[in-house]
Structure 1
Amino acid sequence: MKKLFYLLLISLAVASCTMQPTKKTTYSINVNLQGLDEGTVYLQQRVNGEMIKLDSADAAIPISFKGNIEMAEVYYLGIKDKRGSIPVFVEAADINITGHIDSLRQVEITGSPAQDELKAFNEQTKTFSDQLQNLYGEYRTANQAQNEELKGQLEKQMDAIQAEKVEFTFKYVTENKASIVASFIAYQNNYDFDLSQLDSIASGFDPSIEQSVYVQLLKERVATLQSVAIGKKYIDFTMNNTADVPVLFSSLIKGKYTLIDFWAAWCGPCRGENPNVVAVYNDYKDKGFDVIGISLDQSKDKWLEAIEADKLTWNHLSDLQYWNSAAAKLYGVNSIPHSILIDGEGIIIAKNLRGTALRNKIAELLD
């Protein structure tokens, strides 16, 4: 009898060791948008730049989505035939979204700690964003008045505030290494960091969030930028020219200093920079300087119209895939204008030289 009692105690002890609390992986999202009486609401996930529909619901009945998720991730609520979407940090929780159909940006999201963390961060950085927006308004006015002195002063102020914002963001993500929200913030702002900063961020997250989609994307971003860093040789690719003929990029490289210029007809800053590039090209094309334009356009007609209007007389390539441009992905381009300068051996020697910086560099090399 005593032996049986001890066996029972042992079995209970083993059970207490093995029956650990099960981690919750289910989420529910309840949506209540005033003014939304009909139509279809979609729950979407962004994968490789594309929105993938995960679920849908009829707006005529109470809208609710349920599913499983291992790690917190931003999903998007879209409404059929309505522009815009509602980003929401989805995690294993009961999440509620309330608001009005006509003000999707002002909806209230409760129940998600990750969403709360992101909201708090955005509130902390709002001061920077507001200051930059106000200064940019002043800059546009100064530009219209052709007040170059004031433009220069405003540019310095904007650069200083942007630098503060970047420093604040870098500090936040590096001090919150176990936060998936921090990895999301880092990825959303990756273009603000230089390669060494981005590498330290991507490699510094806690192992507990190693498999987060945002940590993985950051590591992929670092690998891409390392492959096209200054000192590396350009990467070859094939893309159609303006006559829809596939062209091997390397066939256009003629041993000259060559500016690889990523731009688009719809990009205002690109069009504003084009006269500078044209002027430098015209002055140095016979001395060993060339330009190859890579367009992120979607409309061929608008692409060709912009080439003619801006007098861009160099070679041009595009797959007309917008931000899914194969060349842009290859070179890690996520904002335009973006340029890469290579030497006669095809080695990358500079990036994003604009205005006088481009002219000064080419003059240094060829005068």
Structure 2
Amino acid sequence: MKNSIIAFVTLFLLVACNKNESKTNLHITGNIKGLKEGTLYIQRYADSSLVAIDSIKIDGNSAFESNIDLKSPEMLYLYLDRGVTNSLDNNIMFFAEPGTINIETNLDSFISSAKITGSKNQELYEEYKKINSRFSDENLTLIEQKFKAVKSNNAKAIDSINALQDNNIKRKYLYATNFAVNNKDHEVSPYIALAEIYDINIKYLDTIQKSMTPKVANSLYGKKLTKYVDAIKETEAK
């Protein structure tokens, strides 16, 4: 009888452990070459600030892993504690989704050398950023030209550059809108709408919101976009 009770308790504990393990649906692996000792944090935005959801001690082995319970695909951050302020300069953004995601980088160029695999949303976001960077580069060039025009008091050149800057912004926003609509079946779509073009004309946000598939509409960012669009419409109706 005693052995039966022990066996039952053991079985119960195994079942309970399996249930707990099933709660984590995101497995993060990675390696930071050159990192001998330190602490890594997996963070997410909550109430307008970064909050740690897991910590990883590095002691001699630069490889790391983490298991997260992810309710919905979302942008997370891999923060390296260098003993300075918690700034985005020490954070690698990665679009997390259920499954296994791998992050490879090195200590000297923590952000720029990061290679992230295992997430379709991350892949799409990197594709978006690659094109979007062209608009940013063009704007920097125009800013430099405008500075020279202002310095030489060339009013005609200033007006021309202002027109080019306005056109560049329109192209940037139109690209973001088209990218979001074309990828309506991925959570990166509402994320881009909220993070990149939140101040665009409501009709474009409304188009993105209505284009989302049911799965995306029910995601973290899908719900936020719907709430945001509804709030703007309500304000404009007053």
Letter matched to residue 63 of structure 1: F
Give 3-state SS (helix, strand or coil) of 2:198's partner. Answer: helix
- 2: distance between equivalents of 1:143 and 1:57? 51
- 2: distance between equivalents of 1:141 and 1:214? 42
Summarize the alignment of residues 78-227 of structure 1 with structure 2, pairs less than 5 Å apart.
78-80=79-81, 81-82=83-84, 83=87, 84=89, 85-106=91-112, 107-227=114-234
Identity of aligned residues (%): 25
Distance 1:206 1:93, change over 3 A: same
Say whether 1:39 aligns with 2:46: no
Distance 1:35 1:141, change over 3 A: farther
Give 3-state SS (helix, strand or coil) of 1:52's partner. Answer: strand
Task: Please name the residue that 1:56 is paired with.
Answer: 55
Task: Please name the residue that 1:72 is paired with.
Answer: 73
| Per-residue deviation, 1:41 | 0.8
| Per-residue deviation, 1:202 | 1.9
Letter matched to residue 68 of structure 1: D
Letter matched to residue 77 of structure 2: Y
Summarize the alignment of residues 229-248 of structure 1 with structure 2, pairs less than 5 Å apart.
229=236, 232=238
- 1: distance between equivalents of 2:158 and 2:198? 24
| Per-residue deviation, 1:119 | 0.9
Task: Please name the residue that 1:27 is paired with.
Answer: 26
- Deviation string 1:4-61 (CA, Å, 9 cap, x unpaired) is xxxxxxxxxxxxxxxxxxx997222123122322221100011231111100011224
- Deviation string 1:206-237 (CA, Å, 9 cap, x unpaired) is 111222121122122223323433x63xxxxx
Cα contact 2:28–2:101 (8 A) shared by 1:
yes
- Deviation string 1:305-356 (CA, Å, 9 cap, x unpaired) is xxxxxxxxxxxxxxxxxxxxxxxxxxxxxxxxxxxxxxxxxxxxxxxxxxxx
- 2: distance between equivalents of 1:102 and 1:49? 29
- Deviation string 1:143-170 (CA, Å, 9 cap, x unpaired) is 3443332221111111112211211221
- 2: distance between equivalents of 1:41 and 1:147? 51
> Unmatched 5+ residue regions in structure 2?
1-21
What is the TM-score of this pair, normalised by structure 1?
0.53
Distance 1:204 1:224, change over 3 A: same
What is the TM-score of this pair, normalised by structure 2?
0.79
Letter matched to residue 71 of structure 1: S
- 2: distance between equivalents of 1:87 and 1:115? 9
- 2: distance between equivalents of 1:163 and 1:47? 31
| Per-residue deviation, 1:101 | 2.3
- 2: distance between equivalents of 1:123 and 1:25? 32
| Per-residue deviation, 1:128 | 2.1
- 2: distance between equivalents of 1:95 and 1:223? 34
Task: Please name the residue that 2:3 is paired with.
Answer: none
| Per-residue deviation, 1:192 | 4.5
Structure of higher RCO (CA pairs closer than 8 Å, 6+ residues apart): 2
Letter matched to residue 66 of structure 1: N
Task: Please name the residue that 2:19 is paired with.
Answer: none
| Per-residue deviation, 1:103 | 2.1
Distance 1:169 1:149, change over 3 A: same
- 1: distance between equivalents of 2:209 and 2:99? 27
Task: Please name the residue that 1:324 is paired with.
Answer: none
| Per-residue deviation, 1:204 | 2.7
Distance 1:180 1:150, change over 3 A: same
Structure with greater helix percent: 2
Cα contact 1:29–1:65 (8 A) shared by 2:
yes
